[in-house]
Structure 1
C-alpha cells in the first residue's frame, strides 16, 4: 500500500515536470517565431492570449510538482514514524527486561535503542520514497521524451547503463564502510557512558591518562571510519554527477547541431524547436530520481547496517507476560551453564527451599552477578534450566532484585523506592526505608522528598545499595536475589544488614552473592563458584 502511495505521488511530480517543460518549450517557440518573422512581440490582446496556454502549463506544472513533493513527504513521515514506533515498542522491552545473549553496557544499549532505531527511521524517511522513482523514473522519462526525439531518449538510456555499474561498485564500498562506522559508534558510546559512570573510581585510582588514551583511540577510530564513509559518499556523488552532466551535454549537443543542420551524419529525425526545448528541459529529469537516491543513499546504508546490528536483539525472547502469582515452591537450578565474554560458568546445580538463606560466593569475576542475572531471566542460558520445585519456569513477578548499582531515576526518594510497588502508601515506603537503615539519610536530608538524580549524586555506595534492598523488600516478592548487599558499609551497618537478611529469610527465599565472611556465616549454607 505504501509503495502505491509513493508511486502516485511520484507520478504526480513527473506529470508536473512534463507539463512545465512543455509550457517552457511552447513559450520559447512562440518568441522564436516572432523573432524569425521580424515582428516585435507586442503586449497586445492576441499576443497575450497566445502565451496564456504556455503560462498556464508552467504554473500548473509547478503546482503539481509542489503538491507531489508535499504528498510524498507527508506519506514518508507518517510511515517512517509508525514503523519506528513499532520497532521501539518491540525492541525496548527486550533490552530492558528480555533474556539477553550477553550482558549489555548501558551506552551500547542506548545506542541500539535510540541511534540505531533513528538510523532506520531516517532511511525510511529519506530513502524509501525515492527508491521506486529511481528504479522506473528514468525509463518513464525516456518514454516521454521518445515521441519528441527518440535519439535523445537513446542517449539518456545509453549513459544509464554505465551509471548503474558505477553506482553498484560505489555502493558496495559504502555498505562496508557504514557497517564499520556503526560498530565503532556503538563501541564509543558504550565506552564513554561506562567511563563517565565510574569517573570517581577512575580518579581515585589515578587512571585518567590510561582511560583518556582509550577514549582517544575510540574517537580516532570513529573519525577514521566516518571519513571512509564520506569518501564513499563523495565517490557515489561523483559518479552520478559525471553521467548526469554527460547525458545532458550529449542531448544538448545533439539538439543544437540538429537544429543548426551541423550533424556530421544524416539527421535521423526531424527535430523542431518545440521538441528540442522539451527534450532539453526534460533531460535533467532523467537523472533527478537518481540524484535524490544518491542524496539519501548514505541513510540507506546506515539503516541497513543498523538493522543488521539489531537483528540479534530483535530475536531475543520478549519478557513473559505477567501472570497472576502462584505459591512459590522453591528454586531449582539444574546444569546451569553460561558462556559469556570473559566468563564461563561450569554446570551449576542447587535447590532452595521457600524460606532458605543461601550465600553465593566466589572470587571477583567468577560469575556471581551473571548467575543471579541468569536466574532472574536476564541472561540466556547456554545449558541447563531454572525452575520452581514443580518444574515450572519462574514467574518474573516472583523475583525481587537488589543489585550492586540499583537503577535511580531523577526525582524524589519516594518515587525511586515506589518503583517496586507503585500502589504502596507512604507509611509502607517509609517503613521499608527505615528497615534497611536509611533513617539517618531521611532525618538529615528531608524525609522521602529528598531529590535524587540518575547518578545518585550525594549518596554513598552503601546508601544506593540500601535503596535497592528497600525496593526488594517493598515488592514483597517471595524470591530475593541480592548482589553484594553489605559492600561499602562499615562493620556495624554490615552487621545490621546481615541481621535484616536473616530476618527476611523467615518470610521469603534469599540468594545472596557476597564476599562478606560474616554474611556467609549467617546464611544457612554456601554455594561456591
Structure 2
C-alpha cells in the first residue's frame, strides 16, 4: 500500500491544529479580558487613521495653503486627544493581555498538576522530576508570551491593515494596490520561518528539560557521587548538558534574527515603493491620475504605509512566541502522554469498581475478586487470581518472600495500580491511608512533615500520634524534639525513623483502612512491641493490612494471607 507523499504533512498540520485548540482552551477563564484587548487594539488602529489624517491636514493647511494657525488649533487639539486615547488604549490592551496570559499560565499548571496526581506515585517514580518541573516553569513562560505577545497582534493584523487599506484606497487607489500586492510577502515568509522556528523551539525546550532532569538527579545523589569520587566527572556531564542548551538557544536566536531581518527588508522595500511613486508623481515623471495628488494626500498615504506593515512586522516578531508555545505543548504531550484537559475534581479514573451488591451500609470495606497484578515496567504478573475480603476492624498480615507481590498488592488496594484482571471493590466513602517503606519527607521540622496530613492539628494531637508511632522514642533525644529540622527526603534520619514519621503522619490523618508496608522493619523487639500495641489502640474499629516479615507482626494480626513468589495464594488462615 502506497503512502501519499503529503501524509506526514497532513499529520503534522492536524497535530498543530490540535495543539493550537488546546492552547486556546487554556484562556477560557479570561474570555472577557481577551475581548477587551481585541476591542482596544482595533480601536487604536482605527484612531491611527484619524491621527494620520490630522497630521496630513495640518501640513497641507499650514505649509501649502498658508492658513492661519488659529484655524489649525481645533485639529491640533483633536490630534493631541487622539494621541492620549491611543496611549490609554495601549495600556489597557497590555493589562488585559497580561491578565489573559496569567490565567493561561495558571490553567496550564492546574492541568499539569491534576494530570500528575491522576498518574499516581508509581508513574511519578519512573519519571525525571527535573523534566516534570520544567512543565511548570519554562513551558508556562512560553505559553505566557504566546498570550501576552502573539494573540493581541494576531487580532491587530487582521483588522488594522484592512482599515488602513480602505482609507488609502479612498484617497489613492494606486498606493492601495501597492500595499495589497506587497503585503502577502510578509505572512508567506513568516509561515516558512515558523516551521523551522517551531522545530528549533521544541528542540531547545527538550534540551532544557533534559538538562534540568540531569541536574536535579545529580543533586539528589550528590552524597553518593562524592562518596565514590564521581564529582568531577558529573561536573563535566553538567557542562556538556549546558552546552547543548546553549547551542539550541543560539539556533532559535539565529532563526529569529534572520527572519526579522528579511521581514524588515520586505516592509522597507514596500514603503520605499510608495515613496518612489509619490516622488515621481510630484516630479511629473509618472501620471496615473487626472491630477497630481496634493501634498496632504501624499503625506496621509506615506504616514499610513509603514503603519500598514507595522502589525505584520509585530506579528513576525511575536511569531516565535507562537512557535515556542506549540513546542511547549508538544513537550507537555511527550512527557504526559497527552495534552491534559481542564482540571476537574474527579478527573482521575477510579482505581476500584463499585459493585451494586456492595453499596449497602454494612458491606465489607474491601472485596478482592480474581485479581492479577503486574508492577509498572514488569513483564509478568506477581499476583495471580487472588480473591479475599477484609471485614471491619480486621487486621490482615500479608506474608511471603520478597518478590511475592506484597507491596504491589498494597499499592493496588491504595488505588495506585489498577488490576490487570479482576476487580478491587471498596465500600463507598471508605478513606484509605498508605504508609510505604520510603515515605517522602520534606526539608523542615518533624512537626511540619507530620502536619502535612492535618495542617490544623493541635500540638497535643501531634504529640499523641508521635508517641503512638514511636517517633518520640528518638525525637525526645533531639535538641528541639518535634521542632528539629530534617533534610530533604529525610536526610539525617535512619530508614526506621523515617518510616515511623510516615506512620505517624498516617495516624494523624485517621483513615478507615490502614495499608502498612513493613512498618516494623529495622526496629528492635522492644520498640516493635510498643509500636504494635499503640497501633492496635489507634486502629480499633478500623481495618489494617500490614505487609511484614516479622513473626511478632504476624501474631499481632488476626488473619494471615500468605503469597508465594509465583503470585498464587497459598493460604488464608486465622493466627492463633
TM-score (norm 1): 0.82
Q: Check conservation: 2:194, 2:320, Cα contact below 8 A.
A: no
Q: Check conservation: 1:347, 1:384, Cα contact below 8 A.
A: no
* Structure 2 residue corresponding to 1:337, chosen from 359, 370, 374: 374
Q: Check conservation: 2:431, 2:512, Cα contact below 8 A.
A: no
State the Cα distance separating 1:97 from its structure 2 match: 5.4
- CA–CA distance in structure 1, aligned partners of residues 366 and 139 of structure 2: 42
Secondary structure (helix, strand or coil) at the match of 1:399 reads strand
State the Cα distance separating 1:460 from its structure 2 match: 4.1
Residue 46 of structure 2: aligned partner: 15
Task: Provide the alpha-carbon RMSD of the alignment.
Answer: 3.8
Q: Check conservation: 1:465, 1:485, Cα contact below 8 A.
A: yes
State the Cα distance separating 1:169 from its structure 2 match: 0.5
Residue 318 of structure 2: aligned partner: 296
State the Cα distance separating 1:259 from its structure 2 match: 1.5
Secondary structure (helix, strand or coil) at the match of 2:102 reads helix
Secondary structure (helix, strand or coil) at the match of 2:511 reads coil
Residue 565 of structure 2: aligned partner: 528
Secondary structure (helix, strand or coil) at the match of 2:434 reads strand
Secondary structure (helix, strand or coil) at the match of 2:478 reads helix
Answering whether residue 415 of structure 2 is matched by residue 377 of structure 1, we say yes
| Farther-moved stretch of structure 1 (237-246 vs 113-122) | 113-122
Residue 314 of structure 1: aligned partner: 340
Matches within 5 A, 1:229-244: 229-244=252-267
- CA–CA distance in structure 2, aligned partners of residues 347 and 294 of structure 1: 57
- For residues 368 and 106 of structure 1, do their structure 2 counterparts lie closer, same or farther at Cα, with a shift above 3 Å needed? farther
Q: Check conservation: 2:42, 2:159, Cα contact below 8 A.
A: no
* Structure 2 residue corresponding to 1:427, chosen from 434, 451, 460: 460
- CA–CA distance in structure 2, aligned partners of residues 101 and 147 of structure 1: 68
| Farther-moved stretch of structure 1 (503-512 vs 109-118) | 503-512
Q: Check conservation: 2:382, 2:405, Cα contact below 8 A.
A: no
- CA–CA distance in structure 2, aligned partners of residues 335 and 175 of structure 1: 44
- CA–CA distance in structure 2, aligned partners of residues 126 and 518 of structure 1: 66
- For residues 313 and 29 of structure 1, do their structure 2 counterparts lie closer, same or farther at Cα, with a shift above 3 Å needed? closer
Secondary structure (helix, strand or coil) at the match of 1:445 reads coil
- For residues 232 and 100 of structure 1, do their structure 2 counterparts lie closer, same or farther at Cα, with a shift above 3 Å needed? farther
- The gaps in structure 2 that reach 5 residues or longer are 1-30, 567-576
- For residues 243 and 432 of structure 1, do their structure 2 counterparts lie closer, same or farther at Cα, with a shift above 3 Å needed? same
- CA–CA distance in structure 2, aligned partners of residues 292 and 210 of structure 1: 46
State the Cα distance separating 1:153 from its structure 2 match: 1.4
State the Cα distance separating 1:283 from its structure 2 match: 1.0
Residue 8 of structure 2: aligned partner: none
* Structure 2 residue corresponding to 1:245, chosen from 244, 248, 268: 268
- For residues 426 and 114 of structure 1, do their structure 2 counterparts lie closer, same or farther at Cα, with a shift above 3 Å needed? same
Residue 158 of structure 1: aligned partner: 181
State the Cα distance separating 1:23 from its structure 2 match: 1.9
Per-residue CA distance 1:322-354 (angstroms, 9 max, x = gap): 9999862355671223554xx445363345644
Secondary structure (helix, strand or coil) at the match of 1:261 reads coil
Residue 158 of structure 2: aligned partner: 135
- For residues 279 and 141 of structure 1, do their structure 2 counterparts lie closer, same or farther at Cα, with a shift above 3 Å needed? same
Equivalenced residue count is 504
State the Cα distance separating 1:447 from its structure 2 match: 2.2
Residue 303 of structure 2: aligned partner: 281
State the Cα distance separating 1:526 from its structure 2 match: 4.4
- CA–CA distance in structure 1, aligned partners of residues 102 and 410 of structure 2: 38
State the Cα distance separating 1:245 from its structure 2 match: 0.9
* Structure 1 residue corresponding to 2:436, chosen from 396, 402, 408: 402
- CA–CA distance in structure 1, aligned partners of residues 406 and 144 of structure 2: 39
Matches within 5 A, 1:88-127: 88-96=109-117, 98-99=119-120, 102-103=123-124, 104-127=127-150
Per-residue CA distance 1:196-238 (angstroms, 9 max, x = gap): 1221122223332443343233323322222222222223312
Residue 84 of structure 1: aligned partner: 105
| Farther-moved stretch of structure 1 (312-321 vs 77-86) | 312-321
Higher RCO (Cα < 8 Å, 6 or more apart): 1
- For residues 428 and 155 of structure 1, do their structure 2 counterparts lie closer, same or farther at Cα, with a shift above 3 Å needed? same
State the Cα distance separating 1:274 from its structure 2 match: 0.5
Q: Check conservation: 1:15, 1:64, Cα contact below 8 A.
A: no
Residue 383 of structure 2: aligned partner: 348
- CA–CA distance in structure 2, aligned partners of residues 115 and 403 of structure 1: 34
Matches within 5 A, 1:30-45: 30-33=61-64
Residue 179 of structure 1: aligned partner: 202
- CA–CA distance in structure 1, aligned partners of residues 419 and 453 of structure 2: 30
- The gaps in structure 1 that reach 5 residues or longer are 35-40
Residue 203 of structure 1: aligned partner: 226
Residue 80 of structure 2: aligned partner: 59
- For residues 301 and 217 of structure 1, do their structure 2 counterparts lie closer, same or farther at Cα, with a shift above 3 Å needed? same
